[in-house]
Amino acid sequence: MFARHDLVWLSARGWEQVLAAVPHAQVGALDAWSRAGWPAVVRRDEVTQTADRLAVGFALPPRPADGLKVRVAGSVAIADVERHAAPLPLLAAMDTVPERWRAGLAALEQEATAHGFVLGAYGSVALQAITGQAYLKESSDIDLLLRPLNEAHLRDGLALLARHAVLLPLDGEIVFPDGRAVAWKELHAAMDGTSSALGTRVLAKAMDRIALVRLDELLASLEEAACPN
């Protein structure tokens, strides 16, 4: 039901749970976040988490003094999630990214659409678009999510990201049908087109664990999703 980077809007009781558990120094910022109606972001499950709870997180804007982005972890009852949405589409963030990225991102978005991809955004790009606060710096990356339908689609997507990464600071993950996600740069490096590469292990992140997974296993999960019968 929930996946990493999803957006969730909490009930008043959910916010009470979050505010009661966070460090005192962050209460004011998160109370303002609540009053603004901004969502929390779903993160990986905690080790001791029960099935009726959801791990969420908040990344506050970089502090003016040192540029540090404070991240606050929380946990809420699933019953106190009022609304749930997939990560923000990149298209919805285009008007808030720096001018120096806009032409390149527009070209990437257009080509991605032609290949059947809906690019999701997370991290600083998404948070700046959602909150209107200043998250992006000169050193910021553009964190994207790409969900391939099969192996050929995956290869098209990796080639697409690699081409546009020459001009844009692209980062992010490839999300497989079962929810596991691998950094696209790591996956691109592993998929060198040879049969020996299929035994390569890559770091895959899921809601309940992080594990090294064989590349051929991930590719098989794509084909299983494409041909469920």
DSSP string computed for 164-194: HTTTS-EEEEEE-TTS-EEEHHHHHHH--SS
d(CA 207, CA 43): 7
CB within 8 A of 61, min separation 6: which ones? 69, 127, 131, 133, 134, 135
* Res 196 pLDDT > 60: no
* Res 161 pLDDT > 90: yes
The residues carrying an active-site annotation are 141, 143
Three-state secondary structure string covering 118-153: CCEEEHHHHHHHHHCCCCCCCCCCEEEEECCCCHHH
DSSP 199: G
What are the beta bridge partners of residue 53?
A: 77
Angle at 164 between CA 123 and CA 129, to 5 degrees: 30
d(CA 75, CA 41): 11
Give the three-state DSSP class for 56: strand
d(CA 166, CA 44): 31
Please give the pLDDT value at position 86.
97
Q: In this prediction, what percent of the chain has a pLDDT beyond 90?
A: 85
At 181-193, the pLDDT tens digits run 999 999 999 987 5
* Res 164 pLDDT > 50: yes
At 65-108, the pLDDT tens digits run 787 889 999 999 999 999 999 999 999 999 999 999 999 999 99
d(CA 196, CA 124): 37
Residues making up the chain, counted from first to last: 229
d(CA 220, CA 138): 39
Give the pLDDT band (50/70/90) at residue 197. low
Please give the pLDDT value at position 63.
83
What are the beta bridge partners of residue 142?
A: 170
Please give the pLDDT value at position 136.
94
Domain layout of the chain by residue ranges: 7-85, 88-226
How far CA 164 is from CA of 117, 129, 141, 167, in Å, comes to 15, 21, 13, 6
Query: Other C-beta atoms within 10 Å of 45: how many?
Result: 19
Give the three-state DSSP class for 158: helix
Please give the pLDDT value at position 195.
47
Q: Can you say whether residue 172 is alpha, beta or left, with left for phi > 0 and alpha for psi between -120 and 50 degrees?
A: left
At 124-155, the pLDDT tens digits run 999 999 999 999 998 999 999 999 999 999 99
